[in-house]
Amino acid sequence: MGHLEIIGYLTAIIIVVYIVWRNSDKEKAEKREKENELIYSYKYPRLAMTVDAILIAGTIDSKVILLIQRKFDPFKGLWALPGGFVGMDETLKNACKRELFEETGLQNISLSQFFTFDAVGRDPRHRTVTTVFYGSVPEPIPVVGGDDASRADWFAMDELPELAFDHGEIIQKFHIEKLQVL
């Protein structure tokens, strides 16, 4: 066996050892990544976080509330409070303002946090918790349904249509606890 053959064999051995070593490092890195993933992940199911907006207009004697008509299931065609899912990169209040704009076209409405509703089964899709914000305007502002709302409109507080989810209960609690002061 000549020197060139020996160099060829040694080169092949070095390449094989390098590939095995590299794959071993890759496997170790993937294993570390998976272990870190498990450290910061949990096996427990997670709930969905939503926000809803109660917007009231009018005088003490005749108040109206803003509702949207749902474009999609669940509860397609029923009326609901404007609202939706919170994005991973937004606060609850900003999510509520975004949803109010997307579904009604309204912007720059001052909102305050009212209450968090967490009844199990309040949403037929999955476990959902909602935080409700509220605001008021002196008189109804023109609105238009957008995003997943086919329509948006103002309703007299004593003449509400059939409502989706637990929004009837939410409005009732708001009426009892807050409406008298607006």
Q: What confidence tens digit (pLDDT) does each residue in 51-71 have?
A: 999 999 998 788 999 999 999
CA–CA dist 145, 155 (Å, integer): 15
The answer, yes or no, to whether residue 14 has pLDDT greater than 80, is: no
Q: Minimum mean pLDDT among 17-31, 72-86, 104-118: which range?
A: 17-31
Higher pLDDT, 17 or 138: 138
More confident position, 17 or 142:
142
Q: What percent of the chain shows pLDDT beyond 90?
A: 70
Residue 164 sits at the vertex; the CA angle it makes with 115 and 117, to the nearest 5 degrees, is 20
What's the pTM value of the predicted model, to 2 decimals?
0.78
Element (H, E) at 114: strand 112-117
CB 170 within 8 A of CB 117: yes
Q: Across residues 87-116, what is the average pLDDT?
A: 98
Across-strand partners of 113? Answer: 133
User: Whole-number mean pLDDT of the chain?
Assistant: 89
* pLDDT tens per residue across span 119-130: 999 999 999 999
Cβ neighbours for 178, distance < 8 A, ≥ 6 positions apart: 114, 134
User: Looking at this protein, which amino acid is placed at residue 127?
Assistant: R
d(CA 84, CA 39): 30
DSSP H or E run through 101: helix 92-104
